[in-house]
Amino acid sequence: METDPRRASELFEQSVAIMARLRAPGGCPWDREQSFDSIRKYTLEEAYEVFDAIERRDWPHLAEELGDLLLQVLFYAEMAANGGKFTISDVIDHLNRKLVRRHPHVFGEEASRAAGNRADVDADVEGSAIAVLRNWEEIKSAEKSAAKTEPHLAAADGKTAPRLDAVPRALPALAEAAQLGAKARKAGFDWPHWRDLLPKLAEEIRELEAEADSGDPARKGAVEAELGDLLFTVVNLGRHLDVDAEMALRGCNLRFRQRFRQMELDAPRPLEDLSPEALEDLWIRAKRKLSAERTQEIAR
């Protein structure tokens, strides 16, 4: 199966036109009301749904989810165009130039430099993916250096810029927390051992409990902050244990799905008709049953 560039171009042009009509006067009221802040949560959701489809090797569903993710790009670009910031053409132009300048081994060094490459790299990678990655990082680093138009954030005593600035703010929150902890560790600011985080966990739980017990709606921000502190500590506990918090949580979510489904299968009546004690009993039985099944599978 090969991509038909002409057909793809026609369909993309149609998508851009559809998005413009949705946001235009007389278009969709909901779409017209949206802002960058209001739809950003959907961008994360769509990205994770793409991730899920890949994990399940669900190729038809992946095609649909990639379309949903592309919709987010079109939505942002149309809102930016409405505000006079940039258009979808600028988005595509940035992408095309980046691909050309970071692939001198494919498009040639002259085309790479014409597209903005200022790094001195060896385009003869001899089929080596490692060499390609090395060149990519060098070209990317040169781009960042050239893009620095603001005054350097150096202190008067000549110290370097804040080291946590090297951690991208655009990362998923769990990954950002882990990288922040790892970066701080290089400065000696870290817990010596994973066991040292356990008292910190207890401390954060107590602080969260104190705020939540107030029952004051005006304290919601404080409750959110304390929950954030608790999550940050848990992520760094995972870092000390060499466990990726995102993957750990995804595994937990899967186990919860499986156990809850088993509860539904074993329940004599709908779950909402059962007492808390009966639900807890079903949960324990589901855990034991699924654990035994996993043990048998491993033993095979």
Q: In whole angstroms, give the CA distance from residue 204 to residue 213.
A: 14
- Helix, strand or coil for residue 127? coil
Containing H/E element for 131? helix 129-147
Containing H/E element for 13? helix 5-23
What percent of the chain has pLDDT above 90? Answer: 67
Given this model, what pLDDT does residue 294 score?
85
Boundaries of every domain in the chain: 5-86, 95-143, 167-243, 247-299
Query: Using alpha carbons only, how large is the chain's radius of gyration in Å?
Result: 26
pTM over 0.75: no
What's the mean pLDDT when you consider all of the chain?
90
Q: In whole angstroms, give the CA distance from residue 203 to residue 158.
A: 37
pLDDT greater than 90 at residue 118: no
User: Do the domains 167-243 and 5-86 match in fold?
Assistant: yes
Q: In whole angstroms, give the CA distance from residue 131 to residue 124.
A: 9
Task: Return the number of other C-beta atoms located less than 10 Å from residue 147's C-beta.
Answer: 8
> Could you give the count of Cα atoms lying within 13 Å of 290 in the half-sphere of its Cβ?
18
Q: Which two tokens stand for residue 288?
A: 């034991």
Q: 103-108: long-range contacts (C-beta < 8 A, 24 or more apart)?
A: 104/135, 104/139, 105/132, 105/135
* pLDDT tens-place string over residues 150-162: 444 344 444 556 8
pLDDT greater than 50 at residue 30: yes
* pLDDT tens-place string over residues 242-261: 999 988 998 899 899 999 99
Q: Which two tokens stand for residue 113?
A: 């430099």
Show Cβ contacts of residue 259 under 8 Å, excluding neighbours closer than 6 positions: 283, 286, 287, 290
Q: Which two tokens stand for residue 62?
A: 């992946």
Residue 274 carries which DSSP code?
Answer: S
Q: What is the CATH number of domain 167-243?
A: 1.10.287.1080
Residue among 4, 8, 20 at smallest CA distance from 88: 20
Say which range, 46-55, 188-197, 226-235, has the weakest mean pLDDT.
46-55
Q: What is the CATH number of domain 5-86?
A: 1.10.287.1080
Residue among 140, 141, 166 at smallest CA distance from 153: 166
Q: In whole angstroms, give the CA distance from residue 142 to residue 162.
A: 20
Contact by Cβ (8 Å): 70, 15: yes
